[in-house]
Chains A and B, each alone.
Chain A
């Protein structure tokens, strides 16, 4: 259990309505000092609402909000000592790069030469040398991104809030910015709350992820925990690729259960299946890398429809009749040669690693 002093941001039962819709229902969250916590979920899940509540742009209808131990529920944004990165960066178009970065220092009434020194530091840190006098519209997307970061970090905020900052960048730039931000965040040790709908981004960046849906936080855990041991069906489907296979609960022993799928037997955690009787249907959530192409005695028979070459491996898509539909199997290059497009193959789950939940629709 983390000590109170190490909790940078705390939400106690925070709720927010917009008219009749409840955007955030009774949220309880503790963000540890220095960690990068990602709020992940589809649009409308409440992640941006939560971020805006922490920022102070919205006021909570119920619950309390703490930043570094201090109650801030009714404190205006300007006094919360936060740093914010907007999706569109919101760099002041009428100010130079240097003036943008200096803005937060000016509002804190810091001495002029100290401001100059810190701005220089920030520019060096974010590799913006030579661009001090430029206006935002004269910068590339990546440069604007860095100015936004410099502006928010130079004030040494108690928490850094990032609202889908990379969604406007192209793929390569996005990946390099992700790495850069992670490095800076780690080096400065600044507590960061990051909002995104992109689960692969969340998995690569975060110390912990809070998966949200429909105004609720469904699970908070490390990327490994969330990927390997999702708390419910939604989290299991949202994170990574997944194929849902219907099997039967064969046995339960302690905290392990066995699911039968045709000839295959898969071991899963028993916890999500509490209350389910033996021989009743359960849904097995299998990741692409946990499926194998086997002879013709696999649990599923399917016809290969496409090979998508991914460099290190091949994503093999196959259509099976019945409820399962399309299956994605991640196979090494050589294995794909034995399962060309059009061939009928058998697919079986690996004996362990999957997750099972009670049968849904």
Chain B
């Protein structure tokens, strides 16, 4: 029998933590099937009312907005992130690499509130974009960017872009440079070499990036809350509102359960759809 020193010692804390998380998630599940007693924090008996209530078009629209924003943000981040990742990996000078890396990584660590707030200053009617465009006489009246899907999307892309760049860069960095050289030696110009060799081999990175951006956007709260201002609502905002404004925790819980189910479903679909492309990048 193989000796396994420290097994118990090292597994127990992890097991306890996992158990606590499971309990927390289970609490959500439990509340989702209990009735709300209006005006009180107590909950009533078992019911599926909450899930039924979710089928109203009001909530359907929120689910749809959420999905749309997730897909749009992930897609735009991917397209914008690829050139950055490529530049990061192929930069010749250490100083350039460091500059790109720090610039890309810093927004990640600023925290949602600071980031979102900064975007308010940029997007607002008196903000950077409008002031600049008005001064240059390119527009007559300020553009409505706050409280719109466009504004929220821009801010969300800003959040996920760093993570996508890092995942793409990781994938690109591990592609053997000899493949590109081989393609060139066989007569492929830079564009062709990129499209037929580099891009397919970076497929795993692209998939990982898209999936992560999708999952992260789903979790976004401060951005749609502050920039959406109540007009653009994601599931996260709804859950908060129901919980803290209406004290309807059971319904908030059921929304969370539905949201989680939706995320898992979306991720599963993504996984199946991208499996053939995953094979491409194996090397």
Contact = CB atoms under 8 A, between A and B. Distances in A.
B200 A155 contact: no
A137 interface: yes
Contacts of A152: 185-186
A76 B189 CA distance: 9
A79 B187 CA distance: 6
Interface in A77-135: 77-79, 81-84, 86, 88, 90-94, 103-104, 107-108
B184 A78 contact: yes
A84 B185 contact: yes
Nearest to A55: B185
B197 interface: yes
A309 interface: no
A137 B282 contact: yes
A107 B283 contact: no
A102 to B, nearest CB: 10
B181 A84 contact: yes
Nearest to A104: B186
Q: Would you call the interface of chain B mostly helix, strand, loop, or mixed?
A: helix
Contacts of B281: 94
Chain B, interface size: which category?
Answer: 20 to 34
Contacts of A79: 187
A248 interface: no
A77 B280 contact: no
A76 B183 CA distance: 13
A169 B187 CA distance: 28
A234 interface: no
Given A94-B200, A94-B283, A82 B183 contact: no
Interface string A241-274: 0000000000000000000000000000000000
24 contacts: A55-B181, A55-B185, A56-B184, A77-B184, A77-B185, A78-B184, A78-B185, A78-B186, A78-B188, A78-B189, A84-B185, A86-B182, A90-B179, A91-B182, A92-B197, A93-B179, A93-B201, A94-B201, A103-B188, A103-B196, A107-B186, A107-B189, A137-B282, A152-B186
Interface of B: 176, 178-179, 181-189, 192-193, 196-197, 200-201, 279-283
